[in-house]
Amino acid sequence: MRVLIIAEQDGQSVKVATLHTITAGLAISTDLDVVICGHNIDSLASNIAQTKGVKKVIQIDGLALSHQIAEAYEKAILTIASEYTHILAPATTFGKNLLPRIAAKLDVMQISDVIKVASPTVFERPIYAGNVLMTVESQDKQQVMTVRPTAFDKADMGGSANIEKRAFTDKITTSSFIKLEESKSERPELASARIVVSGGRGVGSKENFHIIDELADSLGAAVGASRAAVDAGYVPNDYQVGQTGKVVAPELYIAVGISGAIQHLAGMKESKTIIAINKDPDAPIFQIADYGFVGDLFEVVPQLTQSFKK
Amino acid sequence: MKVLVAVKRVVDYNVKVRVKSDGSDVDIVNVKMSMNPFDEIAVEEAVRLKEKGTINEIVAVSLGSKAAQDTLRQALALGADRAIHIESEESPESLTVAKALKHVVSEEKPDLVILGKQAIDDDCNQVGQMLAALLDWPQGTFISALDLVGDKVKVAREIDGGLEEIELTLPAIITTDLRLNTPRYATLPNIMKAKQKPLSQISLDSIGIDSKRHLKVVKVSEPPLRQGGKKVSDISEIVEQIRRVI
């Protein structure tokens, strides 16, 4: 068995989801390599080479890999894919975009969002917005899967893998990058934060959302949102927590003005402790919250912020 | 220009499904079924392109049992011109769906295929990407905006760090995210008219696609229940709980 992990990077650093995916890979086999694609990524490759348990880092460098164009990444990774029995990528928008292309080219089914490795061919994954868990046994010659980062610990540092450099000279003419509008934030990244404060429709407006931001800042937390808050334009799309947004599992999740629809719970119910603040005592969020406070968020949240402000 | 839209019949998004007592499958007998919400968005986008005059024909396609025809009639009522039903087992795997769609694409030769980014039952998020790979077409996944000009389509993609804009040369595959549009409702006259629109039928076998399953379901189960919470009336209790973590 040989495992290949596809690293995710954003030009600045290797995304932490990659380290969680390596842990899932090591549960399959210790014969594990990482492939990192991009352009001028020497420092990123040497960073990931320091992860414990990685045997070899394959650095594929090419101009066509400067941005995350799936067609280019597919071609680059297919040059080495046949050498591996397992190919894993994080279940982030990067991995979800890319990996099914590779699976289709290898004529195997992809297993999405794996949360447990039971054996090298048996895996568990959530379906129906996390309301059901399904265990599947792959009958394919190769196993291709995306891994839910929050379900596996981060791999440790302290390794020193060899780096093998390869050049990618293909050009992709049917797809071109125009621009990236990054949501810039000084806060911790939502998917990996220890504490998340999320706002929902109850926050009422974009202007009011600052009370969520202020509480988050007083706690050093990341900010999330329900779909309702995103749709209403209170915050950008990539704040969305849920079945179709990000899945988070922080130590503490504070849901403010969020009723707790099935689709939202899918993205946060693995959090260690959940606190809900809502004025509706019958809101479904209270059924899963460890601590629920029934009250007006406009009174409660500023009080909480005051308590933690230094 | 022609657009192909793929739609799936799934358990309605409001239904909380149950696992069969023997753990073999999910119990969906007598459960309300609907068009996958992401596919409604795909149909709506195609209809809007037609209303703008950018495209002139919308073909809807679905794979599944006979009941998938209800979903196709709904697509027709929303504005699709004709429909193709590929008869198969209830819920074929993504790779099988992608292969069947590839066959339809080779017959119909659309300029653009629009699919939902994921089905809310299997939550796979695979078919559009697989179809793009099988056809060697460019893909624009998780899109929240689309601009079709000449032989190019510019799309805005919802990615983890924000929004990414890319431009694809047609023919291309796109998959819809929730914020692309707000789907309309089918009106009664349109539902009546949809009954007259053409709906053709083929079977997976007749187009030579092997539907053998790649993944064997070992079991399905309910996730562990979270301990029911406790309500507190004093804010200092909340403060205390937060302090434990920070």
Q: Residue A205: CB partners within 8 Å, gap ≥ 6?
A: A234
Question: Which residue in A has a C-alpha nearest to residue B27's C-alpha?
Answer: A132
Residue in B3, B24, B211, B208 with CA at minimum distance from that of residue B113: B3
pLDDT of residue B9 exceeding 80: yes
Q: Distance (Å, rounded) from C-alpha A210 to C-alpha A213?
A: 5
pLDDT of residue B16 exceeding 90: no
Mean pLDDT value across residues A4-13: 96
Q: How does DSSP assign A57-97, residue by residue? A: EEEEE-GGGSS--HHHHHHHHHTTGGG-SEEEEESSHHHHH
Name the minimum distance, in Å, from the CA of A62 to any CA of chain B. 19
Pairing assessment for the beta strands A162-167 and A56-61 based on DSSP bridges: parallel
A12, burial (CB in 10 Å: exposed 0-12, middle 13-18, buried 19+): exposed
Q: What is the pLDDT of residues B83-141, one digit of tens each?
A: 999 999 878 999 999 999 999 999 999 999 999 999 999 999 999 999 999 999 999 99
Residues in A touching B232 (Cβ below 8 Å): 291-293
Q: Is ipTM > 0.90 here? A: yes
pLDDT of residue A310: 67
Best mutation site among A14, A174, A296 for testing chain B: the one with the most B CBs within 10 Å? A174
Of the pLDDT bands very low, low, confident and very high (cuts 50, 70, 90), residue A270 is: very high
Torsion angle of the four alpha carbons B73, B94, A91, B182, in this order, in degrees rounded to the nearest 10: -10
Residue in A73, A87, A80, A78 with CA at minimum distance from that of residue A142: A87
B227, burial (CB in 10 Å: exposed 0-12, middle 13-18, buried 19+): exposed
Please report where in the chains the tokens 């030009």 appear, as a residue. A11
Q: How does DSSP assign B172-188, residue by residue? A: EEEEE-GGG--PPPPPH
Q: What is the pLDDT of residues A250-261, one digit of tens each?
A: 999 999 999 999
A275–B169 CB contact, under 8 Å: no
Residue in A61, A32, A29 with CA at minimum distance from that of residue A44: A61
Mean pLDDT value across residues A106-117: 98
Of the pLDDT bands very low, low, confident and very high (cuts 50, 70, 90), residue A184 is: confident
Q: Residue A110: CB partners within 8 Å, gap ≥ 6?
A: A99, A100, A103, A144, A145, A146, B94, B95, B124, B126, B130
Q: Does B21 touch chain A (CB under 8 A)?
A: no
Q: Does B217 touch chain A (CB under 8 A)?
A: yes
Name the minimum distance, in Å, from the CA of B191 to any CA of chain A. 29
Where does residue A129 fall: left (phi above 0), alpha (psi -120 to 50 degrees), or beta otherwise?
Answer: left
Q: Does B91 touch chain A (CB under 8 A)?
A: no
pLDDT of residue B87: 96
Best mutation site among B22, B102, B160, B220 for testing chain A: the one with the most A CBs within 10 Å? B160
pLDDT of residue A7 exceeding 80: yes
Pairing assessment for the beta strands B172-176 and B139-149 based on DSSP bridges: parallel
Of the pLDDT bands very low, low, confident and very high (cuts 50, 70, 90), residue B170 is: very high
Mean pLDDT value across residues A41-46: 97
Q: Distance (Å, rounded) from C-alpha B105 to C-alpha B92?
A: 18
Q: What is the pLDDT of residues A118-144, one digit of tens each?
A: 999 999 999 999 999 999 999 999 999
H and E: helices and strands count for chain A: 9, 16
Q: What is the arrangement of strands in the sheet containing B57-64, beginning at the earlier edge strand?
A: A175-182, B162-169, B152-159, B139-149, B172-176, B112-116, B2-6, B57-64, B82-87, B199-203
Q: What is the pLDDT of residues B44-71, one digit of tens each?
A: 999 999 999 999 999 999 999 999 999 9
Question: Which residue in B has a C-alpha nearest to residue A265's C-alpha?
Answer: B226
Q: Distance (Å, rounded) from C-alpha A22 to C-alpha A48?
A: 10
Residue in A308, A267, A302, A261 with CA at minimum distance from that of residue A280: A261
Residues 165-184, chain A, touching B (beta carbon < 8 A): 173-183
Residues 30-89, chain B, touching A (beta carbon < 8 A): none
Residues in B touching A132 (Cβ below 8 Å): 17, 19, 26, 220-223
Q: Residue B150: CB partners within 8 Å, gap ≥ 6?
A: none
pLDDT of residue B90: 77
Residue in B48, B171, B39 with CA at minimum distance from that of residue B118: B39
